Structure 1
Amino acid sequence: MYIRQNCIVVISLIVIVLTPIQAISEQSTQWRLPEGAKARLGKGLINDISYSPDGKTLAVASSIGVWIYDAQTGEELDLLTGQKAWVLGVVFSPDGKQLASHGQGYHNSFYVYDTQTWMIQHTLTHDEDRYFISSVVFSPDGLVLASCGSLDNTINLWDSKTGRRIGTLKHNPKGSPSARDLTFSPDGETLISQSTDKIIFWDIKTLTSLQTLSVPTNRSLYSMALSPNGKLLAGYSSNKRESFIYFWDVNTGRLQRTIEAPESWGLRFSSDGENLLSASYNDPVHVWDVKTGRLVDTFYAGESRGVAQGIRGWAFTPDGETLALASYAGYVELWDAKTFRLLHATNITRHADTCNSVAFSSDGKMIASGHGDARVRLWDADTGDFKRELIGHRSNVVSVAFSPTENRLASGSYDRTIRLWEYNKTTISFGGFGGGAVINTGHKGVINAIAFSPNGKMLASGSSDGTTRLWDVNTGAHLRTFPPMDSVIVESVAFSPDGEKLASGGLFDIHLWDVNTGRLIHNLNREYYSLGGQSIAFSPNGKMIAGIFEADLSEWDRGDRPPPGDGIGLWDVDTGKLLRRIRTGRTWSIAIHPNGKTIVSSGGFYDMETGGHLHTYKGGSRSLAFTPDGETLASGGYDGTVLLWDITPTGAPVSPARDASGNTLSVDVNGDGDVNVLDMVLVANAFGKSDPDVNSDGDVNVLDMVLVANAMKDRESNVAAREIFFKNHIQPILAERCAISGCHAAPGVAGLDLSKYDTFKKGGANGPAFVAGNGKGSLIVKRIDGGGMPPGGPPLTTDQILFFIYWIDQGAANN
């Protein structure tokens, strides 16, 4: 429930919270951002592309949603984020009025959008599958949608106009391979489903199987394609040693031809049916003559950039004259579909693979991000503009670091090299030392991390071979090798602020070394917890070092529940003593604010002195970095993007504590990332006990209750002080919790359609959903404040409820 207590306790602790600002102008970098983020750099990894039937629009399925582009200009038109997971596929209806998307996520649903409004029209859900929908196709007349799930052995047929299920097909018995791809025959009378062990032809009218095609034993079928005239079916099959493409006669089911082929993720016939194309993430596109089975051409994406690349998506224009290729590096090129020669690159760019590392330049004006597509990307930290792409590595770029003293950037890669790049304010120029730009490190394993020394003269590298090495930045000379760690793999490295110590983090331990002598100073305490060295950081004063830990399940000998989840460990650098453990939940990265008082993990901010939870942000990340002034946080994610968060100090009341075992507590008593009435109930039910003792006075009493209530009130004040926007704050909640669930998408239960602003404003059978200027008195607030809505799921968080209240109080504009 929303805050009803009036008790306020004045507490002077200054904490860090996230608030949106207007420093970056409204553009696609700000579309559909997580709450609190001010910009998104990059557009997410491409998984599929599809042209509208008129060829005017291109839909791009990405790791952050569906991007809608003007196919002629490459201009971004919209970003659809109804699906709260990676989107793996998109397809337009034959009349272009609908767009279906499907992808990952444990909600076994896919979505149909109205292409006039780009609002969700239908949310269609499988009954059994609890993973993701693997294929969705329209029938040629557009009246039927067919879908199959990755763990579901059924195929569902839907009325595309009403969203009603009209049939179900069983591709395989439970426990056998499920259907992973679907296609309709050109006349729409037959549906073809493909799993790894077979292909089945179905009569759509009778819902019965017509014929089954099998693949040889010990081979798995991964993709298929039907020729434009519907007479020939191709399938790609592979085992660990070899791979083949099969051609079947659709009418007879007879295998016509088998050709040996390279690894492929997809097949597609040319519009005239004379060629079959096979695609790969790493290898070139192969073109096969359908009549002879002969390889007639190969070509890579990336020719417009001078770098050969595999592809992640492809689509023919409706007229069949042009082939669009989405390269692994995240841009779209257009090729002649007859000659398979490059026509030109498009303006559709900045779709990148996983962001493994992010760093700010010493002046805070530039951001570097290292990606899984072997690229380093440079961004303007103030505007969010993409500046440049650095190409040179042959594999995953896992670590980037700016020199603290020179205009120099270093990048480390799985190709076992370190590259140095020199730059100035207006241009990035490839430079280096001793006439070369590459340090061939000699590591026997991949490089996982690099770091500059504070004076910029040395560079450290950590590798999966277990060693940490030091390099002279100016000459490239090898200075020292620190011996292998107990955990075998070095995942992170960091210099102390004075440059005298070097920390190397592994899977199970963190070693602290003397830089000058190579002596091991400490093997940090792991008596109670096995460490995870994916990320380590020194405090600005050099007195503490932080690292990620995981709960040691060997200690779990009780019959109730295992130990709490992962978190952060803080150690005294001089003594090596473990100072405290902070429960954060699963995290991959940490960063310490320049003020030395706050540490951030993949999901929240914590007070380093007390371990108390200060603030939650929804930007789960693989890499974190603060600007030197501490005013901006950058988080790089698995989705390939970098999110920028504005950091503003406020006087939020927080009084965390630790329990008898040394584990930290805070006003967020139940650890759900929200301070609300549930935390107060837990405290109230524990009166007279010793846990949860919020203020550490040895007793749970009304004082603990006051601290929680005060934090709730302060959160309300923080929200009230902000301008709430419908598109950024309200609409995403409605889409995720109300409209997508099916209850209040058109036409909506009780006539209440929450899928768009106009129908939300109109209300339903029970009257207007809100009255501008009267947040607490509006019907929508009364329903969500009591916890009864939305049904079938967790209630909205306190912040989310407050968003509705103050958006309505501020006039409920369609902003």
Structure 2
Amino acid sequence: MCICEHLLFSRRHTERAYYFNAEGRVPMKMIDFSTSFLLVVVSILLLSDVSAADSTQWKLPDGALARLGKGGIYDVGYFRDGSWFAVASSIGIWIYDAHTGEEIALLNEQKDSIFCIAFAPDGTVFASGGDAGRIFLWDAHTGQHKRALTGHTNGVTSLAFSPDGKTLASVSYDTTVRLWDVQSGELLKTLTGHTGYIHCVTFSPDGNILASGGGAMDEKLLLWDAHTGELLRTVTESIGMINSLAYSADGKMLASGSDDETVRVWDTHTAELLHTLRGHTWFVASVAFSNDGQTLVSGSEDGSIFVWNPQTGELVNALMDHPERVHSVAYSPDGQTLVSVGRSEICLWDVRTGELLKMLTGYRGFPGNVAYASDGDRLASAASEGIQMWDLNTMQHLQTFIPDKASHKENLVYSVAFAPNGVTVASGGRGGIHLWDARSGLHLRSWWGAGHPRGHPRAHVKYSPDGGTLAIARRNNTIFLADVRTGEIKQSLVVGAVANKVSTEITAIAYSPDGHLIAGGSNDNRVYLWNVETGRLARILVGHTDRILSVTFSPDGATIVSGSWRNGTIRLWDPYTGQLLRTLPSDTSRIYALAYSPDGKILASTYSHGTVGLWNPHTGELLRTLSGHTSSVNGIAYSPDGKVLVSSSYDGTVLLWDLTALAFNQ
């Protein structure tokens, strides 16, 4: 597989071209347009076996074969000339051609989930804020990282440049507003006044006022003197959590979007509330004024985008075709195009007509676990928008199985499992338990659909080794065994209450390879083992000191492994005697998933700090740690031949690791 690739990109309306290298395709140098045709020809000849837009190969961590999905989206913003726009994602910053929708680059040097981006008024610099509390400044012409600004102690949620571009304002979950010197990176001021999370910040057009909006445990709009840091005004009157703020270009109006489903427009001179705009049915996540101040756009978690006349409060247009929750909206510099982003889609709209011009996909919501088909050619990943099906020969997304197409709220899938013969696939999540034809996507059956009292987003499903039974755990004290062919619940395996009278919840399930035993990890720190034939509880494994989120059997059935959540403990047990065989060294991170290689020689464990541990289960030695995700790794699966390991992460990506090429500690 060729990982290096070259791309020549000619920017519209200019006689310039940028040459990109493959390992991130960051602009390396400017070249004369007269050479562009030659470079295109050379690139095609050299790289005819690799797609120029194959972003599955960009900036992979060591040992990875491919990346499925581009992460989840948080924010979006245009470059000053409108030719490109940037998308802040959970794995870095994606740069797009605003006219063609083609990916240009991935900037992931920050190694964080990127929550927010902002562009300097002169277009030379842009800033990104991440979940680790760091801020990076980037050269907007070259894509090179200039410097890191450190000081926040929690995730940076919003950024804004002053109109003269000399100062950068940042707000954070750490409850502070900070002002930075863009040229030197020096921290100028730390403003305190919020009592909880801060979601947004913006400068007035004249640069004199800084507005910040509070989220949970705060719910205040604060206005500051941008030069002295003095708190000028506090607005608290029933505004709810503020998610977004925007000034009109003339500075006369300030708009806010809140969790109470409203947009508010304020007179900045009198602080009078001019309008409360209603119509959204869920949180308003983003607001933005057009450059001429004639329209105000708002995007909501209900998937709607409204265009308003801010002078009158009249609704001008409603864009209702966004496929999911809207996280951020931005006008193009010329005001003709609107870009909106959800968790996994980017939409470009014609502002005048409301027409959807383009929809860019490839992003994924937060994945749960993953499952290989028995042929090794297909992969299913659980995600917030349903089941994602992948062709592993082409690394292409095939389709999405959606539990409830009418609802954004009921499609979260936490657990997914392929039948041993690969014919059907089962899912468990907020919208219930579902059975699908794995090839066509035809929905075959449901148990406890959306809205059922037994519904829970962290439901678990497992097929029996013969494929005839589906084990279902709905985060209560029961494992249900359902007949796959008829849908009948054949058996219920029940646990009693724990000593503190809190009902036990089954949080993980696994079948023994021979199908005679089924294990259930629980929130009472125990592993329960049932005899499937009799339905009787065979034994209880006691020793963990926190809830258990993963259990698995070794391929020979001689060992059962359990992973504890908070303290990172992995324990290996004899399932027939209950004897503790080994405890693997504790990690301070939470354990989410465990999987044996098909030959039983390697045990993989996943952690909340974004890594995968590979262990020798017979000696307890840590063989290798795989790093590359930016958030917790929720799922793990081996290919049937054991050559590839797949990890799925809360960062919205699935990584495929080449185990044959990795060096292991011996």
2:549 pairs with 1:529: no
| Maintained 8 Å contact 1:155/1:179 | no
Q: Which residue matches 2:170?
A: 147
Per the TM alignment, residue 40 of structure 1 is displaced from its structure 2 partner at its CA by: 1.1
Deviation at 1:371, TM superposition (A): 0.5
Q: Give the paired residue count.
A: 588
TM-score after normalising by structure 2: 0.81
Instruction: Give the alignment of 1:659-698 within 5 angstroms.
Output: none
Give the stretch that moved more between structures: 410-419 or 267-276: 267-276
8 Å CA contact 1:421–1:437 kept in 2: the answer is: no
Query: Alignment partner for residue 129 of structure 2, among 98, 102, 109?
Result: 102
Q: Which amino acid aligns with 2:534?
A: T
Displacement of 1:478: 1.9
2:199 is equivalent to residue 184 of structure 1: no
Q: State the partner residue of 1:134.
A: 157
- For 2:102 and 2:417, locate their aligned partners in 1 and report how far apart those are by CA, in whole Å: 32
Residues 1:343 and 2:356 aligned together: yes
Change (3 A) 1:48 1:522: same
Residue 301 of structure 2 is matched in structure 1 by 281
Tell me how far 1:28 sits from its aligned partner.
2.0
Give the Å deviation of 1:301.
4.5
- The alignment status of 1:367 with 2:379, answered yes or no, reads yes
Q: Which residue of 1 aligns with 2:370?
A: 358
* Contact preservation (8 Å) 1:199, 1:214: yes
In 2, Cα distance between equivalents of 1:164 and 1:504: 52
Report the 3-state secondary structure (helix = DSSP H, G, I; strand = E; otherwise coil) of the residue aligned with 2:623: strand
1:652–1:492 CA distance, 2 compared to 1 (3 A): closer
Q: Is 1:418 matched with 2:434?
A: yes
Q: Secondary structure at the match of 2:121?
A: coil
Distance 2:460 2:582 in 1: 26
Letter in 1 for 2:154: Y
1:617 maps to 2:606: no
- The alpha carbon displacement at 1:461 in A equals 0.8
- Greater mean alpha carbon deviation, residues 581-590 or residues 613-622: 613-622
Give 1:294 shift: 4.7
Question: Hey, what does 1:711 align to over in structure 2?
Answer: none
Q: What is residue 519 of structure 1 aligned with on the other side?
A: 536
- Return the offset for 1:271: 4.4
Q: Which residue of 1 aligns with 2:139?
A: 114
Residues 169, 570 of structure 1: alpha-carbon distance in 2 compared, 3 angstrom cutoff = closer
| Secondary structure of 1:319's aligned partner | coil
Distance in 2 of aligned mates of 1:146 and 1:649: 45
Secondary structure of 1:617's counterpart equals strand
1:325 aligns with 2:340: yes
Once the two structures are TM-superposed, the CA of residue 440 in structure 1 deviates from its matched residue by 3.7
Q: 2:653 aligned with 1:635, yes or no?
A: no
Deviation at 1:83, TM superposition (A): 1.7
Q: CA deviation at 1:210?
A: 8.2
Query: Compared with structure 1, are the counterparts of its residues 409 and 221 closer, same or farther at alpha carbon in structure 2 (3 Å cutoff)?
Result: closer
**Of the two structures, which has the highest relative contact order with CA contacts closer than 8 Å and spacing of 6 or more?**
1
RMSD over aligned CA atoms reads 2.8
Give, as a single letter, the amino acid of the residue that structure 2 aligns with 1:343.
L
SS of residue matched to 1:29: helix
Give the TM-score normalised by structure 1: 0.67
Write out per-residue CA displacement over residues 3-47 of structure 1, whole angstroms, 9 at most, x where no aligned residue: xxxxxxxxxxxxxxxxxxx9x968422222222222111111100
The worse-fitting range, judged by mean Cα deviation, of 292-301 and 396-405 is: 292-301
**Aligned position for 1:778:** none
Cα deviation, 1:496-536, whole Å, max 9, x if unaligned, reads: 11122222222222222222221111222x1x323533111
Q: Which has the higher strand share?
A: 2
Largest Rg, 1 or 2: 1
Matches within 5 A, 1:19-98: 27-98=54-125
1:256 partnered with 2:274: yes
Please give the secondary structure, in 2, of the residue aligned with 1:589.
strand
- Of 455, 479, 485 in structure 2, the residue corresponding to residue 474 of structure 1 is 485
Which range moves more in the overlay, 396-405 or 69-78? 69-78
Counterpart position of 1:579: 581
Determine the C-alpha separation between the residues in 2 that align with 1:48 and 1:124.
19
What is the distance in 2 between the residues matched to 1:264 and 1:218?
A: 12
Q: d(CA) in 2 for partners of 1:168 and 1:566?
A: 39
User: Structure 1 regions of 5+ residues with no counterpart?
Assistant: 1-21, 303-307, 424-428, 552-564, 655-815
Identity of aligned residues (%): 34
* Aligned mates of 2:199, 2:67 — CA distance in 1: 32
Take 2:662 and 2:77, find their aligned partners in 1: how far apart are those partners? 46
Structure 1: how far apart are the matches of 2:434 and 2:122?
52
Whether the 8 Å contact between 2:258 and 2:285 is mirrored in structure 1 is: no
TM-aligned CA deviation for residue 450 of structure 1: 0.5
Measure how far apart 1:403 and its partner are. 1.1
The CA distance in 1 between the partners of 2:546 and 2:166, in whole Å, is: 55
Give the Cα separation in 1 of the matches to 2:661 and 2:251. Answer: 64
Q: Identify if the C-alpha distance between structure 1 residues 343 and 566 changes in structure 2 by more than 3 Å, giving closer, same or farther.
A: closer
CA separation in 1, counterparts of 2:103 and 2:277? 41
Identify, as 1 or 2, the structure richer in helix: 1
Deviations 1:438-468 (A, max 9, x none): 3347772425210111121111111112211
Deviations 1:181-236 (A, max 9, x none): 222222334433344454444455x5264841422279554432212321111234
Structure 1 segment 98-497 matched on structure 2, within 5 A: 98-105=125-132, 108-126=133-151, 129-151=152-174, 153-158=176-181, 160=182, 162-165=183-186, 167-168=188-189, 170-172=191-193, 176-177=195-196, 180-195=199-214, 196=218, 198-204=220-226, 206-207=227-228, 209=230, 211-216=232-237, 219-237=240-258, 244-259=262-277, 262=281, 263-295=283-315, 297-302=317-322, 308-328=323-343, 330-339=344-353, 341-346=354-359, 348-372=360-384, 374-393=385-404, 394-423=410-439, 429-431=440-442, 436-440=444-448, 444-446=454-456, 448-484=459-495, 486=497, 488-497=504-513
Paired residues of 2:476 and 2:506 also in contact (CA < 8 A): yes
Taking a change above 3 Å as real, the CA distance of residues 410 and 164 of structure 1, as seen in their structure-2 partners, is: closer
Q: 1:509 to 1:295 in 2, by over 3 A?
A: farther
2:604 aligned to which of 600, 607, 613: 600
Aligned 8 A contact 1:267 1:276 in 2: yes
CA–CA distance in structure 1, aligned partners of residues 148 and 109 of structure 2: 9
Q: 2:518 aligns with which of 502, 506, 509?
A: 502
- Give yes or no for contact 1:584–1:604 (8 Å, CA) kept in 2: no
Q: Which moved more, 1:635-644 or 1:460-469?
A: 460-469
SS in 2 for 1:355: coil
Write the letter of the residue equivalent to 1:120: H
Cα 1:460–1:117, aligned 2, differ >3 Å: closer, same or farther?
same
**Secondary structure of 2:148's aligned partner:** strand
